[in-house]
Amino acid sequence: MPLPFRPNCLPAAFGALPHSTSHAAWDACVRHLPVMLPLPLLASDGEDPATLAADGFGGAIIAMDQLHLDLSSAHASLDDLYLAYLRNDVESRALDLAALDDWNLREAQIKRAEAISTMLMGPISLALRLVDEDGTPALVDGLLIDALVKHLYLRLQWLQGVIGRSARTGLYWLYEPYLDVVGSPFSPVDWPAARQILEETFAGTAGVHAVWVGEMTDVPALIESPTVEVVGLPLPLPNVVEVWAPALRRFIERRGAIGWGIVPHTVEGLAHARVGRLAARFGAVLRALDDAGLPTGDVVAASLIMPEDTLDHLYPSEAEAALAMAGQLSGLLRHSYGLD
């Protein structure tokens, strides 16, 4: 389902954070993102999008922040995976997330939020990250791609059961930073296949389906899929987004939303960033879209304001500075465009 409200340039971010305790991570999310509240994830404890996606997949080896694939183990585990899928055994894909220990204590804040979001690395990017001993990614093996889809389908179903206990709306991000490989000469996956993969992964998830992509991804090809209800990406250049205007118009008309990654996610970027300059960059994108026939009012109503990517590689104080800047930029834009 699409977001049941217009985001109107609300601030949002991914929950993968560098904090050492779930209490501190919850506090940061509630302080800066009370409306679009992410489920806090402790990246230092292995709660990053790639690890959360790969955990429990047969043959996946997670060591020193690197992912590897034991092909023989992967193929040997397929029968168990397909049986779990046929039985809809979502508990077979349960995760031990630190934030859930504090869930009941945060019940009031969760219920006040318009949406609770969470994230997993998506099947295409995960299939690129999982490489065997010869350096061959799982993406070249159609059987393993299908297995990853079913594995992540069950994991999303489990997350839906957790979040749906209290949240008004569940927003489920598939983190696909390597989706720009789709359609390239080096990829066995073309866009019709990629859309089908995402649709099957999201199938049955009774919430908002969101996909985060890299800046070189063919966004119009992605949002052809009615399954994608929120698309997020680093803020593109005006001349790039201008070409997307017809596809974005159709997307917004079916109540799609766009998460614009504007706030820097590096220490250097944050040190030089100013809210006014970031607003001016967004304004240039809005003017390009308006010149291409997509009215500014329609775009800002469908927009979320986000960091350029995850913040888990920063220190906690730096991550919170990025979250605070997202809130400040959101406030400026909402005031400027009469969205308050």
pLDDT in tens, 207-242: 999 999 999 999 999 999 999 999 999 999 999 999
Q: Do 23 and 95 meet the contact criterion of CB atoms below 8 Å apart?
A: no
pLDDT digits (tens, 9 = 90+) for 89-121: 999 999 999 999 999 999 999 999 999 999 999
- Amino acid 186: pLDDT: 83
User: Residue 282 — pLDDT band, cuts 50, 70, 90?
Assistant: very high
Please state whether the predicted TM-score (pTM) of the whole model is above 0.95.
Answer: yes
Eight-state DSSP code of residue 131 = B
pLDDT at 296 over 90: yes
Mapped to the 3 state alphabet, what secondary structure does 252-319 carry? Answer: HHCCCEEEEEEECCCHHHHHHCCHHHHHHHHHHHHHHHHHCCCCHHHHHHCEEEEECCCCCCCCHHHH
Q: Tokens at residue 32, please?
A: 């800066």
Q: In the chain, what is the greatest distance between 2 CA atoms, to the nearest angstrom?
A: 58
CA-to-CA distance for 23 and 83, rounded, in angstroms?
37
Q: How far apart are CA 24 and CA 42, in angstroms?
A: 10
- CA 146/CA 141 separation, integer angstroms: 9
